[in-house]
Structure 1
């Protein structure tokens, strides 16, 4: 694994890559909010041997620059397209969790040609409800008045399954530290982008590439109905429920998450799952 950076749409984007000399394709990971590329370390380390894995920091989070303080989902989608172009990636599979899924679905609305396959974890095509928008605004107030530490502690209890706090304390610490590393301005700008995002349900029936949908069985944020809706509307998609996991199954039950990804890739690209 190595760290690198690239200029995308006038900002510097930091990323980590598991390089492969002659990759069958590249798997680009898009993290959730308010995390960073470090949440994908286990997935990068366990990809099939001929798959290049790349995880980048979304603008304003992690180590990537923020550019303008006013961000919307179109900007984040255009960043994903720009990132793929800047690295001259071909045969791209994309995997997004939570906000990462929102970015992928918006990218599909803008330019559907970029992906050979899609993995969506613990995400939805629906826009925020009024209650969710108000929660985002309350989060902005917390960040501005109390900083990232208080915001992190308020968030953690909803992100993980109850059992994770005892069985996977390292996963909880990883996310807590990722939130601490983010700037207040970057997080506030992203919260506004999330609150203002529009519905992307119309794109689901137009998705024709292989699609894997995953959800942590104990996710308190994305309900089972939302995952089922994605599965029903995306023709030929596969739905996998990850046991003993909440909103972040790639960390809470990495073995099951990685196995589902490897099986999906092997099934659709004739790869050895190892």
Structure 2
């Protein structure tokens, strides 16, 4: 049985999070259909130097409900800031994956003096491309109809989250084999009670607002990273965000997909640590 994570209550609902390490605070925001444990390799690498807080967003992981008044990713960003208030944390760096990167960007726009560095992995803060909207909507309609994530659907989603050659690469890579199996199992074990909150969060993530024009005003150190062998995000999107955020750094990760931080953990960790070490925040 997994350990129950700490939580704070927001609008009568518990928002759970991992809290490990000490030092300057790094907040991890996962994307749709993942949870805080996707950052395990990063937390292990950073927690000796940083206090790592990885959130389970509404409908994900142990945060199995969602407040009635949570209607968009801006609300989610406010809730993360409320969590930080409850923990008496003022200064942070934020690392966001997928839709978690959009939440991270909303946090920066809301509280620019609190966020001192931003990493966005396989994220895009513009409108979600129609092809992705259709793909995700199809998945979510299936989940809504069946009130579960079937083994077949979990397999299809897992294939999209890892690199296009992950199945072949995993034959000589036991950690990758285990990571693929763990993600599939996580999807298959989503409880019936969290289906409705998950679907609500998914709708918010799929139809998020376009903040691309707003991020042009960002002045904080930013690292934009993307897996070059993924199904869901493109290098073109990373170029667009890199061009929009003045002074940002761009990291392209080969032989990696949407979960590049898992597939190429050592490489991603190295670049993140080097990036954070250049940022002066306490």
The alignment's TM-score, normalised by the length of structure 1, stands at 0.90
Gaps of 5+ in 2: none
Within 5 Å, which residues of 2 pair with 1:60-71?
60-64=59-63, 65-68=65-68, 71=71
In 2 relative to 1, CA 132–220 (structure 1 residues): closer, same or farther, beyond 3 Å?
closer
In 2 relative to 1, CA 270–58 (structure 1 residues): closer, same or farther, beyond 3 Å?
closer
- The 10-residue stretch of structure 1 (123-132 or 56-65) with the greater mean CA deviation from structure 2: 123-132
In 2 relative to 1, CA 10–261 (structure 1 residues): closer, same or farther, beyond 3 Å?
same
In 2 relative to 1, CA 220–47 (structure 1 residues): closer, same or farther, beyond 3 Å?
same
Shift of 1:270: 9.5
In 2 relative to 1, CA 153–86 (structure 1 residues): closer, same or farther, beyond 3 Å?
same
Q: How far apart in 2 are the matches of 1:223 and 1:145?
A: 30
Q: How far apart in 2 are the matches of 1:70 and 1:93?
A: 24
Match of 1:55 in 2: 54
1:83-137 Cα distance to aligned partner (Å, 9 max, x none): 2112111220000000110111222333333201111100111112333333332
The alignment partner of 1:219 has SS state of: coil
CA-atom RMSD in angstroms: 2.2
In 2 relative to 1, CA 241–138 (structure 1 residues): closer, same or farther, beyond 3 Å?
same
The alignment partner of 1:13 has SS state of: strand
Aligned length: 268
1:228-258 Cα distance to aligned partner (Å, 9 max, x none): 1111111111111122211111111100011
The 8 Å contact of residues 119 and 224 in structure 2, kept in 1 or not, is answered as: yes
Gaps of 5+ in 1: none
The alignment status of 1:187 with 2:198, answered yes or no, reads: yes
Residue in structure 2 matching 1:220, options 212, 219, 231: 231
Residue in structure 2 matching 1:151, options 143, 150, 153: 153
The 8 Å contact of residues 116 and 209 in structure 1, kept in 2 or not, is answered as: yes
Shift of 1:70: 6.2
Q: How far apart in 2 are the matches of 1:68 and 1:262?
A: 38
The alignment status of 1:114 with 2:114, answered yes or no, reads: yes
1:183-213 Cα distance to aligned partner (Å, 9 max, x none): 3212211221123211011222111111111
1:156-197 Cα distance to aligned partner (Å, 9 max, x none): 121111332323111112222222343321221122112321
The alignment status of 1:207 with 2:218, answered yes or no, reads: yes
Shift of 1:69: 8.5
The alignment partner of 1:16 has SS state of: strand
Residue in structure 1 matching 2:165, options 159, 163, 166: 163
The alignment's TM-score, normalised by the length of structure 2, stands at 0.88
In 2 relative to 1, CA 82–181 (structure 1 residues): closer, same or farther, beyond 3 Å?
farther
Q: How far apart in 1 are the matches of 2:145 and 2:269?
A: 39
